[in-house]
């Protein structure tokens, strides 16, 4: 028994996407909930596959079913397809289950021929309207169905306009258009050797066949291949009555949102154009009216539309974007879909709808994209503004900033007092921090997502574009050049740290908005999520910010950032350059009280929340002057001594040479894989002993002030259990000593970072010597991939993503297949031997939604991320918990 092949819109519904395609199912749904949709019918996807499988044989008897459906449509409209007196025109569209680029475009006004066009003139009383529709139809049909290239039609029209001395299509009068139509017909005959089909039923059959064929056109095939859409789905064909908003002042067309798409306010919001078609609104030739004015122009239609909008919102349970047309006082709904909205609106609409009872709180949480929150927390370049992007670098620290260009930190610090500045540097060093703090934003020409500029800026919440290799900075001339444009010191620029864009001049910004609705949404999220959310913070300022954003602890406090501050760096350098342990210890004695103070500040802010402190991690040379600079100085001095001589110069040279030698002895071929982390602590335990003493003494001091403290001491870069056991034993002794000396009990933990593959692979052993693990996924990604982030991000990773060799930058989005596999193994092995082990992540992935999802899946206890990502992580964690709990299907 043959299946039903043609469905009137009344016969379908939203669930029939397989058979009717997405568009057909939606038209059927709208028809069935009583909306005034122009009547029509859908030919099923099965028919398409039958056609293709038969090698292009038009299915027998199909046109009979089409005629039967058309008869029902004619009945409803009171017009007849191909009737010269009262013609019915239709549109023909493709429509697969999934929206798919490459499929056939729309053909409008099908059914027109020399006879019916006269009927249209009579019906509309407007010959220009009718011939304009006719010439458009001939062009579209010829292009799509008959394969006559569109530009050939455009050329003929161009000649007409030239001859008439007009510039706009709309200025071509009716009789010229009529003549044009016959010229078009001749062109088609010349190109195809056949005359243009004038039988409406032949037109329709050819159009239906063209839709079937378009399923297999190359662009569609490529798309299906890439998206993994099966070949045998096929496309449906939608045939729908044409309605016209340009049939006089009782006609018109409009677009509306059921709520304000910019703010989320609950009010109908849109535009209306009298006597116009949809494409006139888009073309922007005439200024549309605010939708409210329709109330005055045509209160009855407005009332109808307002009711329909409410109905649609209730039906789809979301804010809708609706296209409609009024044809001679008759309202038609042409399309409706879930409306696009700003981040601000997304949050407000979700929360409002949950409170209205339209959706559940779970759904409200799932409706907001984590990226929306990111937008709300930072100033953004106004999306409506026209800006001149002059270069693009890495989106290193989110948010936008506007300021005058300065080229060094001192100038930034000075001018930043009185006016907004953007610090532009080849790259930044610890010496630039005061300047960075005084700047609205930072732009560097070199360095990756983990460069000094990027890390520090993210820490401070300052927008930053890093590694912008397209700009070349001339520090002497105090200017930078890019793509032929020169920007001098004092010129205005804007940077967008969320996209990496560098913009000339002052871009208009939209301020950060942590709204009440966002607070409410995140509170709901907190009630649902299983994962804890901590923050990466190295100082009280960041810690405070993170707590305000909802952080439940610190997952990573990098102690070495404290070492970089200007008052400490000289002491740190003394320590490194010390000739023996005694000298080193004396420098460390000076650092102890400074570090203790740092920790006291953080512990106070965190008020009893757990604080994971990572002991010193980077290779020591990072704290020393640059090798290149020192080499340059020594070479210059050497030349000077040789030419000028002089004992003072000579002494200076010798001193510099000693420094160079010291730096050289710390230099490494691959510092990422060198003497750092616990390796450093094994060779020079006195450094971490000082740090642990500082942590414990700070804890004692703060506890005595009545504030609870829970330090978790993290030993980095462990690759073998013996390293952890060795260092921990030494440090436990220090911790116990402080507890004994002070008589103050402190609840401290020791743990390690899992950041090199061998640690993950031997987790079963390491877990026996740790109270917690924290995945350092930045380093773990580097070692698992064998890729240095600093070197790769600019040089080849972006290219890899562009070439689709990798689905995403694995430093942004956790690589589940490789790094994730290691993590999963590690978690399983570790929990087997130490079920009470606390497991977290403190790499930058901890704030990236899909990575947060993965952390939930493998059963981590918490994620930790930079303060500004804390709200994102809270939302993402709740979303995965909800998805995990039930399968709420939200139709979007």
Q: Is 552 in the site for its own copies (CB under 8 A)?
A: no
Q: Taking contact as CB under 8 A, which single stretch among the options 36-44, 585-593, 810-818, 866-874 is the one that binds its own copies?
A: 810-818
Q: Using the minimum distance from each CB to its own copies, give the nearer residue, 201 or 785.
A: 785
Q: Which of residues 72-131 bind its own copies (CB under 8 A)?
A: none
310-327 per-residue burial string, b: 16 or more CB within 10 A, e: under 16 = ebbbebbbbbbbbbbbbb
Q: Give the side-chain half-sphere CA count within 13 A for 282.
A: 4
Task: Name 466's bridge partners.
Answer: 394
Q: Give me the long-range contacts of 450-456 (CB less than 8 A, separation at least 24).
A: 450/778, 450/789, 450/790, 450/811, 451/396, 451/427, 451/790, 452/427, 452/428, 453/396, 453/425, 453/427, 453/428, 454/394, 454/396, 454/397, 456/428, 456/561
Among 212, 726, 773, 854, binds its own copies (CB under 8 A): 726
CA dihedral 161, 166, 171, 175 (to 10 degrees): -50
Polymer length of the chain: 892
Among 161, 328, 590, 679, binds its own copies (CB under 8 A): 679
Q: Decide if 770 contacts 608 (C-beta within 8 A).
A: no
Q: Is 645 in the site for its own copies (CB under 8 A)?
A: no
Indicate if 826 belongs to the active site.
Answer: no
Q: Is 226 in the site for its own copies (CB under 8 A)?
A: no
Give the position of tokens 């003497």: 675
**Dist. CA 714–CA 773, nearest whole Å:** 8
Q: Decide if 346 contacts 370 (C-beta within 8 A).
A: no
Q: Give the side-chain half-sphere CA count within 13 A for 887.
A: 0
Q: Is 805 in the site for its own copies (CB under 8 A)?
A: yes
Kindly calculate the radius of gyration of the chain based on its CA atoms and give it in whole angstroms: 35
Q: Taking contact as CB under 8 A, which single stretch among the options 2-10, 77-85, 521-529, 639-647 is the one that binds its own copies?
A: 639-647
Q: Is 662 in the site for its own copies (CB under 8 A)?
A: no
Catalytic residue among 452, 561, 845, 856: 452
Among 165, 803, 886, 889, binds its own copies (CB under 8 A): 803
Backbone angles phi, psi at 681, to 5 degrees: -70, -25
**Dist. CA 498–CA 462, nearest whole Å:** 11
Task: Name 479's bridge partners.
Answer: 474, 488
Among 639, 651, 833, 888, binds its own copies (CB under 8 A): 639
Q: Is 635 in the site for its own copies (CB under 8 A)?
A: yes
Q: In angstroms, what is the minimal distance from the CB of 805 to its own copies?
A: 4
Q: Which of residues 820-839 bind its own copies (CB under 8 A)?
A: 821-822
Q: Using the minimum distance from each CB to its own copies, give the nearer residue, 437 or 659.
A: 659
Going by their DSSP bridges, the two strands 400-406 and 421-425 should be labelled as parallel
Among 671, 685, 808, 813, binds its own copies (CB under 8 A): 671
Q: Is 791 in the site for its own copies (CB under 8 A)?
A: yes
Among 402, 717, 738, 839, binds its own copies (CB under 8 A): 717
Q: Is 792 in the site for its own copies (CB under 8 A)?
A: yes
Q: Is 847 in the site for its own copies (CB under 8 A)?
A: no
Q: Which of residues 683-712 bind its own copies (CB under 8 A)?
A: 683
Give the position of tokens 């620029």: 493
Q: Decide if 283 contacts 339 (C-beta within 8 A).
A: no
Binding letters toward its own copies, positions 494-533, x by CB under 8 A: ----------------------------------------
Among 65, 318, 542, 779, binds its own copies (CB under 8 A): 779
Q: Is 625 in the site for its own copies (CB under 8 A)?
A: no
Among 328, 758, 813, 883, binds its own copies (CB under 8 A): 758
Q: Tokens for 512? A: 């950060």
Q: Decide if 840 contacts 862 (C-beta within 8 A).
A: yes
Indicate if 151 belongs to the active site.
Answer: no
Q: Is 672 in the site for its own copies (CB under 8 A)?
A: yes
Q: In angstroms, what is the minimal distance from the CB of 228 to its own copies?
A: 16
Among 512, 787, 798, 808, binds its own copies (CB under 8 A): 787
Catalytic residue among 842, 845, 855, 856: 842
Among 815, 844, 848, 853, binds its own copies (CB under 8 A): 815
Q: Is 865 in the site for its own copies (CB under 8 A)?
A: no
The Cα-based distances of 13 to 21, 23, 283 in angstroms read 11, 11, 33
The catalytic residues are: 452, 842
Binding interface with its own copies (CB under 8 A): 628, 631-632, 635-636, 639-640, 643, 668-675, 679, 682-683, 717, 719-720, 722-723, 726, 755-758, 761-762, 779, 782-788, 790-792, 795-796, 799-800, 803-806, 815, 817-819, 821-822
């Amino acid at each position: 028994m043959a299946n039903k092949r043609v469905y009137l819109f009344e016969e379908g519904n939203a669930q029939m996407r397989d058979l009717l395609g997405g568009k057909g199912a939606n038209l059927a749904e709208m028809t069935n909930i009583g909306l005034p949709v122009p009547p029509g019918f859908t030919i099923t996807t099965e028919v398409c596959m039958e056609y293709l499988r038969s090698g292009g044989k038009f299915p027998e008897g199909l046109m009979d079913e089409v005629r039967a459906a058309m008869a029902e449509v004619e009945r409803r409209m009171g017009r007849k397809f191909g009737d010269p007196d009262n013609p019915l025109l239709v549109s023909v569209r493709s429509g697969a289950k999934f929206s798919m680029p490459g499929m056939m475009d729309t053909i409008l006004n099908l059914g027109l021929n020399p006879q019916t066009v006269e009927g249209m003139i009579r019906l509309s009383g407007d010959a220009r309207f009718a011939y304009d529709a006719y010439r458009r139809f001939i062009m579209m049909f010829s292009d799509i169905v008959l394969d006559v290239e569109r530009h050939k039609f455009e050329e003929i029209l161009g000649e007409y306009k030239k001859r008439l001395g007009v510039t706009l299509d709309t200025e071509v009068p009716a009789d010229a258009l009529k003549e044009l139509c016959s010229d078009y017909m001749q062109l088609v005959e010349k190109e195809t050797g056949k005359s243009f089909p004038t039988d409406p039923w032949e037109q329709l059959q050819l159009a239906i066949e063209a839709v079937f064929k378009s399923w297999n056109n190359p662009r569609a095939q490529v798309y299906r291949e890439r998206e993994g859409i099966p070949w045998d789905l096929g496309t449906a064909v939608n045939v729908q009555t044409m309605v016209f908003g340009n049939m006089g002042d009782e006609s018109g067309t409009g677009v509306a949102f059921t709520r304000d798409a910019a703010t989320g306010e609950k009010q109908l919001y849109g535009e209306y154009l009298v006597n116009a078609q949809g494409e006139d609104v888009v073309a922007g030739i005439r200024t549309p009216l605010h939708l409210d004015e329709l109330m005055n122009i045509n209160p009855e239609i407005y009332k109808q539309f307002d009711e329909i909008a409410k109905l649609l919102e209730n039906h789809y349970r979301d804010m809708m974007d609706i296209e409609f047309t009024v044809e001679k006082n008759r309202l038609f709904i042409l399309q409706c879909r879930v409306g696009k909205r700003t981040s601000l609106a997304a949050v407000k609409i979700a929360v409002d709808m949950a409170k209205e009872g339209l959706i559940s709180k779970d759904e409200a949480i799932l409706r907001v994209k984590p990226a929306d929150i990111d937008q709300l927390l930072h100033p953004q370049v106004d999306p409506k503004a026209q800006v001149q992007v002059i270069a693009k670098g890495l989106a290193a620290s989110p948010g936008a900033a506007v300021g005058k260009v300065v080229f060094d930190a001192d100038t930034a610090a000075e001018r930043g007092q009185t006016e907004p500045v953007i610090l532009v540097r080849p790259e930044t060093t610890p010496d630039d921090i005061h300047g960075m703090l005084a700047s609205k934003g930072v732009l560097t020409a070199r360095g990756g997502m983990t460069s000094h500029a990027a890390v520090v800026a993210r820490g401070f919440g300052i927008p930053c574009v890093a590694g912008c290799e397209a700009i070349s900075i001339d520090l002497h001339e105090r200017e930078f050049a890019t793509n032929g444009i020169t920007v001098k010191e004092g010129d205005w620029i804007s940077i967008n740290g969320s996209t990496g864009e560098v913009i000339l001049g002052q871009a208009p910004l939209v301020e950060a908005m942590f709204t009440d609705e966002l607070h409410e949404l995140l509170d709901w999220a907190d009630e649902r999520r299983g994962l804890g959310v901590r923050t990466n913070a190295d100082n009280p300022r960041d810690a405070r910010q993170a707590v305000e954003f909802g952080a439940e602890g610190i997952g990573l406090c990098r102690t070495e950032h404290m070492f970089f501050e200007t008052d400490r760096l000289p002491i740190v350098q003394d320590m490194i350059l010390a000739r023996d342990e005694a000298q080193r210890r004396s420098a460390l004695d000076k650092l102890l009280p400074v570090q203790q103070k740092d920790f006291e500040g953080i512990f106070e802010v965190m008020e009893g929340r757990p604080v994971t402190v990572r002991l010193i991690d980077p290779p020591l040379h990072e704290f020393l002057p640059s090798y290149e600079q020192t080499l340059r100085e020594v070479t210059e001095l050497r030349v000077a001594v040789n030419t000028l001589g002089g004992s003072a110069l000579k002494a200076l040279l010798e001193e510099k040479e000693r420094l160079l030698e010291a730096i050289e002895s710390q230099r490494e071929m691959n510092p990422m894989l060198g003497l750092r982390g616990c390796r450093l602590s094994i060779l020079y335990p006195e450094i971490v002993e000082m740090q642990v003493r500082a942590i414990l003494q700070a804890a004692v001091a703060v506890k005595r002030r009545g504030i609870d403290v829970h330090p978790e001491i993290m030993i980095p870069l462990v690759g073998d259990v013996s390293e952890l056991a060795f260092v921990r034993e030494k440090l436990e002794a220090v911790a116990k000593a402080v507890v004994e000396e002070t008589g103050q009990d402190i609840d401290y933990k020791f743990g390690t970072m899992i950041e090199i593959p061998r640690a993950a692979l031997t987790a079963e052993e390491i877990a026996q010597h740790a109270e917690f693990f924290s995945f350092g996924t930045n380093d773990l990604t580097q070692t698992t991939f064998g890729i240095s982030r600093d070197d790769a991000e600019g040089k080849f990773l972006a290219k890899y993503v562009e070439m689709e060799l990798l689905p995403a930058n694995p430093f942004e989005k956790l690589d589940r297949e490789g790094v994730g596999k290691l993590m999963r193994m590690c978690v399983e092995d570790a929990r087997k031997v130490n079920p009470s082990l606390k497991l977290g992540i403190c790499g930058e992935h901890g704030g990236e939604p899909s990575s947060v999802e993965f952390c939930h899946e493998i059963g981590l206890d918490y994620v930790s991320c930079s303060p500004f990502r804390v709200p994102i992580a809270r939302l993402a964690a709740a979303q995965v918990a909800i998805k995990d709990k039930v399968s709420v299907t939200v139709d979007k």
